[in-house]
Amino acid sequence: MILIRCLLLAAACALLLFCPPSSFPFPLPLLLTDGQLGRALKFTLALWLVRDINAGLTRWAENRWMWTANGGVWNWSKEIAVVTGGSQGIGAAVVKSLVSHGITVAVLDVQPLSEELQNDKSDLIRFYQCDITSRDAVRQTGEAIRSHHGAPTILINNAGIGNANSILDVTPARLRAIFDVNLLSHWNTVQQFLPDMIANKKGHILSVASLAAFVGLANMTDYCCTKAGLMAFHEGLTQELKHRYGAPQVLTSIVYPSWTQTNLTKAIEKGIRGSGASIVEPADVGKAIAAKVISSTSGQLVLGPGLAASVRALPMWVQEWIRDRMAQVVTVNATTASAAA
């Protein structure tokens, strides 16, 4: 669709720029012949063309320089997805959305399934109690999943915890825990499930980050660091699949949710709303993540203000003004074992 629109816009721009009005077999509207209006129209069409070309190149790059999605290799009723932290919150919403497409889901979590998931009648949800920060536990769970269902083709690294502590107040134990769960565990799960994807030239690894990856927040420095690190992990994994493992067919995506209604946001909800930000429901995030999987395309998904991903391209004074506005969002001391924004 973008390619067709670009061709049409390019043709329109060429006609207006290089063909005099007298050469047309029919009289042109005043809008096209008037000097100022005509120039404004040409400028608008040119900007529209540049925007669409940029969007098309972005999609092309995200899709590993392939023009079409490789959707033909996916048979959702036969796919196995692994979702970490899938018992509650965003993870549970992702599980429900994937199951609605007929995908079998293996949930890895230290917490039991929510009552809603336990009551699910689809018979497509399998729960594995697993501490994803333990390499050995992930290995044992991976072996069990392959034995029961086969090799997973979809890995959604969703598990996350959050602290609301200042740099001086956070304890070494909580600091280690947040990095272990939010970032280091991705090495455990990817090392466990990626080899089969590479061998089969098919797979999709999706990481759940946060808009906090783009803006450092007072009293959430550790959380922001893990999410910024996750962005680097996603980029490095993408490059290694293309240039080290010879498996560009294995898709990689990263999702940046905005503030989402979880245990952590309950403690700081007043500050969030005071900053003018909204709080979205986990179901909305879960549906968006599942839709990205079903699209069979790589790329990033920003679930919030589009400007957030570009904030570091803004002048420094604007960046600092944004961070100052966010400084009063987190003013309490709190911890949570649930995925945050």
Rounded CA-CA distance 116/105 in Å is: 15
Question: Can you spell out the DSSP letters for 171-207?
Answer: -HHHHHHHHIIIIIHHHHHHHHHHHHHHHHT-EEEEE
Token code pair at residue 201? 């030239």
CB atoms within 10 A of CB 52: 20
245 labelled catalytic: no
266 labelled catalytic: no
Question: Side-chain half-sphere of 194: how many Cα atoms within 13 Å?
Answer: 21
Q: What are the C-alpha distances in Å from 73 to residues 8, 202, 288, 300?
A: 32, 8, 21, 21
Q: Which residues pair with 154 in a beta bridge?
A: 81, 204
Q: Which residues pair with 84 in a beta bridge?
A: 108
Burial per residue of 4-15, b for 16 or more beta-carbon CB atoms within 10 angstroms, e otherwise: eebeebeebbee
- List 128, 223, 256, 292, catalytic entry: 223
**Residue 96: which H helix or E strand, with range?**
helix 89-100
Cα angle for residues 63, 282, 158 (degrees, 5° grid):
55
Rounded CA-CA distance 223/232 in Å is: 15
- List 96, 128, 202, 227, catalytic entry: 227
Q: Which residues are catalytic?
A: 223, 227
